[in-house]
Structure 1
Amino acid sequence: MHTLEQLRAGELNGARHLKLSENLAVFPLEIFSLKETLEVLDLTGNQLSSLPDELAECTKLRIIFCSENRFTELPEVLGNCPALTMVGFKANRIEVVSPKALPARLRWLILTDNAIERLPDELGQCTSLQKLMLAGNRLTELPASLAHCQRLELLRIAANRLTAFPAWLLALPRLAWLAYAGNPFADGWEPKRATSVADIPWQELEVGDLLGQGASGAIHRAIWHSAAGQPVELALKLFKGAVTSDGLPAAEMRAALAAGQHAALIGVMGRVGDHPSGIPALGMILISPHMQNLAGPPSLDSCTRDIYPEGLVLSLPAALAMATEVASAAAHLHRLGVMHGDLYGHNLLHDGEGDVLLGDFGAASCYPLADSVLAAGLERLEVRAFGCLLEELLALCPVQVAQSEALDRLANECQRPEAALRPSFAEIHARLGQIQPLLRAEMAPLLT
């Protein structure tokens, strides 16, 4: 975080990144002292409602964040910024998005939690667009021109007012991460079966330390002193009520309950329905601390691809075991009519030896299995996400053997532009199972 005082004193001369949050109501003109060097401008958490036309003079500006301000329109000056590729205006009051506000090189657009009812058709001319985040608005339809955005990989349209699923989304060649729960068209879409879980009375819970916090809620260590049995340790997730970048916490809770039990899913133990403040909550399996996040989320530069810890190495058998379990979990979900929506390394916990757990249902959506065309299309969409993950897992393996080629081929097949030509998760799981004994035989001489 920087200060306006530092900027005025010349202490930030030549800076490429600037972050100011000082309850600003007017754009500080001192920012233009950096117009020759500024690449990333973060003005999140102020009281701004407009940007000056002179912003276009910042010819190197690539990224701008103006979330949690008071904008009612997406500023048109953004469209005149020649290098701008990422625009983030989450949690404002935006109702109007002018086509003039769209930068020619736009790659990542965040308009989550606003009041937008319509997007301009010109959005389809942003052919570099990879990531579009629109959850929590008032959209009743998407511009059909978005079908021209052939590079679009991640789309969040949850918690809007869409009355029909945009079927053309299924033909986008690179779309892999989609969230749409909380729209009228999906209100009646129920999974194949709902999981029967215990009701956990709040008064039987002893809430302990905070284990972690995300966009949709906080997770605490807790002990359930059940009247029917011995005390049980669990992870207690207390959901927030606000819309997240992925959608509504209520939709996450619904999907988590619908997901059922699987060895590679973080299991739900029960639902807490009587929190004193009315907060929805779930009791989940407490994960061993030796399980670590496989990756970090995408960076500003990587956009849609995860960032893996420097120096992380996996054995090929471990990577194959992880991929097999994830494919099995995904096949299980799709048999129930649940799309995870965020099948990424940063949502996996692993032990480095092949054990893996998939979590975070914040972007999950349900769909009707009776609609076979839609069901197959959504599954193949998520198969592309799995193909990206498999590709990343293989990149962490220093030893390459003949079966590596078979796995590379599978990763490529999962990412075919023609979604109908991609394998299903059941097929993927079967093929991985066939590769496992061949890999063990091939690796045996290398391990002796």
Structure 2
Amino acid sequence: MSTTLEQLRAGQLDGAQRLSLSCGLTSFPPEIYDLADSLEILDLSSNALSSLPDDLPRLHKLRIVFCSNNLFTTLPSVLGSCPELSMIGFKANCIGEVPAASLPPRLRWLTLTDNAIETIPEELGDCSQLQKLMLAGNCLRSLPDSLARCSRLELLRISANLLPSLPAWLQDLPRLSWLACAGNPFNEAREAAALDAAGMAHIDWCRLQLGRQLGEGASGVISQATLDGQPVAVKVFKGAMTSDGLPRSEMAACVSAGPHASMIPILGTVSAHPQGSPGLVMPLIDAAYVNLAGPPSLASCTRDIYGDAVRLSLPQLLAIAHGVASAACQLHAHGVVHGDLYAHNIVHHPDGRCLLGDFGAASLFAPEAPVAAVLQAIEVRAFGVLLAELLARCETRLPGLDELASACLQERPLQRPRFDHIASRLAVALAA
């Protein structure tokens, strides 16, 4: 919740651990230092800031800084001197330079989406605790080889850059599970060809009557609607760039995926939107389907948040796991990596049926290319995380399932099982 500068100046926020100010700031309010003994999260997004003060480390408990939608041209070097700082978010600024000095030693989560960055310093590889790195929508032609040392890196977003190929060291990262790499020169032609060949219906906006909002993700807002009197769901993309990449990359992945019983189908793309926004039209899912989990929090970083009451029977677990593995198997056969294989992108029915959605982080690749095995191995680890989470919420144990999860999570990516093997094993267990 955003507070006001007047509240801060009046001393009404004494002891606050979190401060959010969005009020057209052009300079850093010195009154923030009055919270030095308590402040842990500082959100100065959506202002007109272009610098931070050199004495920012006076906020000695500061763990998280958000300064998205401001006017920074350089990531402030002073961030690297904040002793407890582990999370930095400077999305949608004008940043062209990332000094090595701006990287704090405890860095765990770095978001620099939608800027103008051409190079990342080699020193980023010294951030041994780095788990989440979001660099989509920049001007990167390469990534530092030092990132191969970031053995804890689990989520990487490098879509919509100028990368001619994927770095070879991706296959050496033992924990990388969620990768978005669409909209780069190495896969742009494939995306364009997918959209040209799709033959997808174009649905005029005036044929849609919007109802209540159903959900909101990184890339867009999903609403209930009617199309010529029939109930549907409509996803309208938020803008030209999301935290995961480009809307056209998501649409290219959706039309390439093909129909599958455990994937949400696409009826068509939106045309003639009043603001020119792209969108997708999908069937309205039965209300009996519910989200399996919520997205990661600031504290959990890369792990979904499950409700305390979530418990699964063994048949439910097997049906969900097999449905997701089977869908992933088809995606990879069609040259699509989902990139966000998470429980929060899965809805499930009490009988175990499930639907995988949200292709905002999906990327296209040539299934026969050598990189295909690496991309599948990365996504298999994401499935391993999911399977382990499901097993933790099921009281009944079936021999072999824990071993399957462990195999998917093993640290040598190319030694993990393939999705066809995983789906086959789960199908046998489901039929038993």
Tell me the TM-score normalized by structure 1: 0.92
2:33 aligned partner: 32
Residue in 2 aligned with 1:441?
none
**Mapped partners of 1:384, 1:22: distance in 2:** 42
**1:361-400 map, 5 Å:** 361-371=359-369, 373-397=370-394, 399-400=395-396
Larger deviation, residues 299-308 vs 264-273: 264-273
Give the corresponding residue for 1:427. 421
Report the CA distance shift for 1:56/1:413 in structure 2 as closer, same or farther (over 3 A): same
Decide which of 280, 283, 286 is 2:284's aligned counterpart: 286
Q: Indicate yes or no: 2:264 matched with 1:223.
A: no
Give yes or no for contact 1:338–1:364 (8 Å, CA) kept in 2: yes
Give the Cα separation in 2 of the matches to 1:116 and 1:290: 45
**Stretch deviating more after TM superposition (114-123 or 9-18):** 9-18
Residue identity matched to 1:352: P
Amino acid at match of 1:97: V
Matched with 1:156 is: 157
Shift of 1:195: 5.0
Match for residue 410 of structure 2?
A: 416
Alignment of 1:315-354 (within 5 A): 315-354=313-352
Q: Residue 295 of structure 2 aligns with which residue?
A: 297
Quick check: 1:259 aligned with 2:262? no
CA 1:200 to 1:120, structure 2 compared with 1: closer, same or farther past 3 Å? same
Deviations 1:188-233 (A, max 9, x none): 33589965543434454444444333332333333333xxxxx532
**Which position in structure 1 is the counterpart of 2:241?**
243
The reply on whether 1:138 has 2:139 as its aligned counterpart is yes
How far did residue 31 of structure 1 move?
Answer: 0.9
Deviations 1:121-164 (A, max 9, x none): 11111111000000111111111111111111000000111122
**How far off its partner does 1:275 sit?**
3.9
Structure 1 distance, partners of 2:173, 2:3, is: 41
Contact kept, 8 Å, 1:159 with 1:248, in 2: the verdict is yes
The amino acid of 2:214's aligned partner reads: L
Deviation at 1:179, TM superposition (A): 0.4
Name the residue aligned to 1:97.
Answer: 98
Please report the TM-score for the alignment, with normalisation by the length of structure 2: 0.95
Larger radius of gyration: 1
Match of 1:214 among 213, 217, 224: 217
Within 5 Å, give how 1:28-107 maps onto structure 2: 28-107=29-108
Report the 3-state secondary structure (helix = DSSP H, G, I; strand = E; otherwise coil) of the residue aligned with 1:383: helix
Equivalents in 2 of 1:13, 1:205: separation in Å?
Answer: 49
d(CA) in 2 for partners of 1:147, 1:160 = 19
Q: State the distance in 2 between where 1:254 and 1:200 align.
A: 17
The residue aligned with 1:446 is none
In structure 2, distance between residues paired with 1:295 and 1:429: 22
Identity of aligned residues (%): 56
By how many angstroms is 1:314 displaced? 1.3
The amino acid across from 2:396 in the alignment is: Q
Secondary structure at the counterpart of residue 80 of structure 2? helix
